[in-house]
Amino acid sequence: MMIRALIVEDDPMVAEINKGYLESIQGFSCTGVVSNVSDGMAFLKDNPVDLVLLDIFMPKKNGLELLAEIRKKKKGIDVIVISAASDIEHIKASLRLGAVDYLIKPFEFKRFNAALQKYQKEQEFLRAQEKVNQDELDRLLLKKDAYESKLPPDLPKGLTLPTLQKTIDQINKMETDGFSTEALAVKVGVSRISMRKYLQFLTDIGFVFIKMDYGGVGRPVYKYHLDKGKSNRVKPYMQAADDS
């Protein structure tokens, strides 16, 4: 299931960062980027969208006007608000209008990732069911955020323990200045595509996180860093693989 997302953000650099974050998460595609509410409304009229990543403070019209319009027209579109507005009134207004999450700028990738992973899992569950009982609904609605939830015991399909161990060993050696997918793939001896799968998994469980590197000449690049406070999150998977 590919979730089609529209970014509504008037700051070009923030929009580019959010687009990069979005496209680094498997199962999501950026179907468009617009810089104001009017363009957002026009885009939604002519294009299929599942999720809107919505800023609030924009020229002319407030982002909440777009959220209200989506609800008024009863469109099957969800909204995650991403805004510098941290006051209770804006947060309450967003939630009353049905925003499924609210991220306060500036935020870390792991919080962005948690919001989208949680949304993705909810959508997968709802699309697979015609009816649910109370226990199933409670597990969906009351569970913790993705990065706080209990880890499953098995490695994701397609990942192997030896390659995961090599990846972790190299991450520990390269951690000082961060590392790119390409650099780590060379060190481990696998393809860039394969390494992206391992890094996606390690990002999902909070073992590593992504930061934008603005150093040097040219466009900023994304680099991975080890989250040392959560380095034990990979152990249950490796233990399960050892025991299998």
Give the β-pairing of 3-8 and 28-34. parallel
Q: And the tokens for 168?
A: 């972790």
Assign a CATH topology to domain 161-243: Arc Repressor Mutant, subunit A (1.10.10)
Domain boundaries, the chain: 3-125, 161-243
| pTM given for the model | 0.60
CATH architecture, domain defined by 3-125: 3-Layer(aba) Sandwich (3.40)
Rounded CA-CA distance 14/45 in Å is 24
pLDDT tens track, the chain, 244 positions: 799 999 999 999 999 999 999 988 989 999 999 999 999 999 999 999 999 999 999 988 899 999 999 999 888 899 999 999 888 999 999 999 999 999 998 888 888 998 998 899 888 888 777 777 777 777 666 654 444 444 445 777 889 989 999 999 999 888 667 888 999 999 999 999 999 999 988 888 888 888 776 665 556 677 888 887 777 778 877 765 454 4
Rounded CA-CA distance 182/201 in Å is 16
In CATH terms, are 3-125 and 161-243 the same topology?
A: no
